[in-house]
């Protein structure tokens, strides 16, 4: 199908999904999850993914290959995510507020589906099932446009998910995959006025910037993640090492991974050698990939590493690289974050309540943590089932976007003959 034909098909499907009751939508979701786990479907998805992996090898980094790769366990996790979404309360028709006026009018602010949600994403096949599940549960149709590296995998996943839609009596075009992976299809979605009700880009800074600058349809800015962790002078240093290693190295290719570590000068001479040992020789001894440290002048005077370049504190590395800077106070840490953050996730590690309170109040990011890893900025970890993306803007959604953020609202007014 051409991109225009897909736009028309999704628009044609949105009313049926919006008017379906929650039982039908949940049945569709459970059918989608079961289909993913069926042996023949799983074999087809893994075969398609193997083709994608073979084509991408040597063209993208090993870290990005990990994002692209599927295994039976990852497909089962995708199915679990869909089932978790099915188990959540129905967001459609929820009364957000109710006002009774002196004249007897009852005004209910009521959640309604957006309509058609388009998602442009890159090389993570699991986004395909997450996005489809959230869209269907919230009464929306969706159009998925993945990067060329993941298209075979995404196509096999969508083909499988449509089995669940058909079994529940919903139109299979409620979940559509764009067949054209050139810039033309992305531009078509950005300008699809009258067809797309909400556009959500998920990917690198270039993709998000292009969507925000060129979209003529409503667009949510999801974030590149230049995530910071500030180690205060009263931090529990043992816990700090665990948190930083987790935030940086557990999965460096994701947007909630730490990219910058700020260390209070009062403990820098003690803490930074421990950090260098933990992220370098200790990881190598365990057969794990070491983390390269990009150091500002003060940190470089204390530990070995690569001198930080002018762009290192403004880069989402998505790799085993961590920029490190020494600061003299929580106020200086906050100022640095204000100048360099993308508004995604930041953390303070401290045992000083006043510093924690100041940090959480002053840092203007979607998620602000006290004494834990930034890796928790995730729809599943926040109890949303899964997520459509992490919004780094303030209107209308911020942080992990679940079902509530995929609904708009209307006012339903109950009267009994009132006139004005």
Q: Report pLDDT digits (tens) over 108-164.
A: 999 999 999 999 998 889 999 999 999 999 999 999 999 999 999 999 999 999 999
Whether 43 has a pLDDT exceeding 90, the answer reads yes
- Regarding whether 148 and 31 lie in a shared domain, the answer is yes
Q: How many percent of the chain have pLDDT more than 70? A: 100
With cut-offs at 50, 70 and 90, classify the pLDDT of residue 340. Answer: very high
Residue 193: Cβ-neighbour burial (10 angstroms; 0-12, 13-18, 19+): exposed
Is residue 125 domain-shared with residue 198, that is, in the same domain? Answer: yes
Look at residue 45 and tell me whether its pLDDT is greater than 80.
yes
Q: In this structure, are 88 and 233 located in the same domain?
A: no
Are 234 and 151 within one domain?
A: no
Domain shared by 21 and 148, yes or no: yes
Residue 419 lies inside a defined structural domain of this protein: no
Contact 68, 53 (CB under 8 A): yes
Quickly state the pLDDT bin for 92 (edges 50, 70, 90).
Answer: very high
Strands 345-349, 227-231: pairing kind: parallel
Q: What is the pLDDT of residue 51?
A: 97
Residues 26-32, mean pLDDT to the nearest whole number: 98
| Within a domain: 239 | yes
What CATH code is carried by the domain that includes residue 49?
Answer: 3.40.605.10
Q: Is residue 384 part of a domain?
A: no
Same domain, 350 and 409: no
Please report whether residue 343 resides in a domain: yes
Residue 193 and residue 207 in one domain: yes
Coil, strand, or helix at residue 253?
coil
Residues 148/55, Cβ–Cβ less than 8 Å: no
Asked if the model's pLDDT at residue 31 lies above 80, the reply is yes
The answer to whether residue 288 sits within a structural domain is: yes
Cα separation, 143 vs 189, in Å, equals: 9
* Same domain for 248 and 303: yes
Query: Alpha-carbon distance 407 to 387, whole Å?
Result: 14
165 vs 229: CA distance, rounded Å = 43
Strand ranges, E, within 44-191: 95-100, 106-113, 116-121, 141-145, 175-177
pLDDT at 165: 98
Closest CA to 91 of 168, 26, 161, 28: 26
Position 372 confidence tier, pLDDT thresholds 50, 70, 90 = very high
φ, ψ of residue 116 to 5 degrees: the values are -115, 120
Residue 354 included in any domain: yes
Q: Are residues 105 and 245 in the same domain?
A: no
CATH of the domain at 277: 3.40.309.10
Total-model pTM = 0.88
Helix (H, G, I), strand (E, B) or coil at 155: helix
Q: Do residue 274 and residue 145 come from a single domain?
A: no
* Number of structural domains in the chain: 2
Whether 385 is covered by a domain: the verdict is: no
DSSP 199: E
Indicate the SS3 state at residue 401.
Answer: coil
| Residue 380: predicted pLDDT | 84
Task: Give residue-wise pLDDT tens across range 61-89.
Answer: 888 898 899 999 999 999 999 999 999 99
198 by DSSP, 3-state: which?
strand
**Domain annotation covers residue 383:** no
Residues 187 and 65 in one domain: yes
pLDDT over 80 (residue 370): yes
Same domain, 128 and 232: no
User: Taking each helix axis from N to C terminus, what angle separates 205-214 and 183-190, rounded to the nearest 10 degrees?
Assistant: 40
Q: pLDDT (tens digit, 9 = 90+) per residue, 278-334?
A: 999 999 999 999 999 999 999 999 999 999 998 999 999 999 999 999 999 999 999
Range of the domain at 278: 227-376
């Amino acid at each position: 199908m051409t991109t225009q034909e897909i736009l028309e098909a999704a628009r044609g499907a949105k009313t049926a999904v919006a008017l379906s009751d929650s039982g039908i939508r949940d049945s569709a979701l459970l059918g989608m999850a079961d289909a993913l786990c069926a042996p023949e479907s799983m074999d087809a998805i893994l075969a398609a993914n193997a083709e994608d992996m073979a084509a991408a090898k040597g063209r993208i980094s090993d870290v990005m290959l990990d994002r692209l790769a599927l295994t039976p366990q990852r497909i089962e996790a995708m199915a679990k995510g869909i089932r978790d979404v099915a188990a959540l309360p129905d967001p459609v028709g929820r009364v957000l507020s109710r006002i009774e006026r002196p004249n007897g009018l009852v005004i209910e602010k009521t959640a309604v589906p957006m309509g058609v949600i388009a998602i442009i994403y890159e090389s993570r096949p699991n986004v395909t099932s997450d996005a489809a599940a959230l869209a269907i549960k919230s009464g929306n149709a969706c159009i998925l446009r993945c990067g060329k590296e993941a298209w075979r995998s995404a196509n096999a996943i969508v083909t499988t998910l449509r089995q669940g839609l058909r079994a529940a009596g919903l139109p299979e075009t409620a979940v559509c995959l764009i067949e054209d992976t050139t810039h033309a299809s992305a531009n078509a979605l950005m300008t699809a006025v009258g067809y797309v009700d909400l556009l959500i880009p998920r990917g690198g800074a270039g993709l998000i910037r292009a969507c925000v600058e060129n979209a003529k349809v409503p667009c949510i800015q999801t974030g590149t993640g230049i995530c910071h962790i500030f180690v205060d002078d009263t931090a529990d240093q043992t816990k700090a090492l665990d948190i930083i290693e987790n935030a940086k190295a557990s999965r460096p290719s994701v947007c909630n991974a730490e990219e910058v570590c700020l260390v209070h000068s009062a403990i820098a001479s003690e803490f930074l050698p421990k950090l260098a040992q933990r992220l370098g020789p200790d990881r190598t001894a365990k057969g794990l990939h070491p983390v390269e440290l990009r150091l500002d002048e003060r940190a470089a005077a204390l530990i070995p590493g690569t001198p930080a370049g002018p762009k290192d504190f403004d880069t989402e590395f998505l790799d085993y690289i961590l920029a490190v800077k020494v600061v003299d106070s929580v106020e200086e840490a906050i100022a640095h974050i204000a100048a360099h953050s993308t508004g995604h996730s930041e953390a303070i590690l401290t045992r000083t309540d006043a510093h924690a309170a100041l940090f959480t109040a002053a840092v203007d990011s979607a998620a602000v943590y006290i004494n834990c890893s930034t890796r928790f900025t995730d729809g599943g970890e926040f109890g949303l089932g899964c997520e459509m993306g992490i919004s780094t803007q303030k209107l209308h959604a911020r942080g992990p976007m679940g079902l509530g953020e995929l609904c708009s609202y209307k006012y339903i007014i109950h009267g009994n003959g009132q006139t004005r």
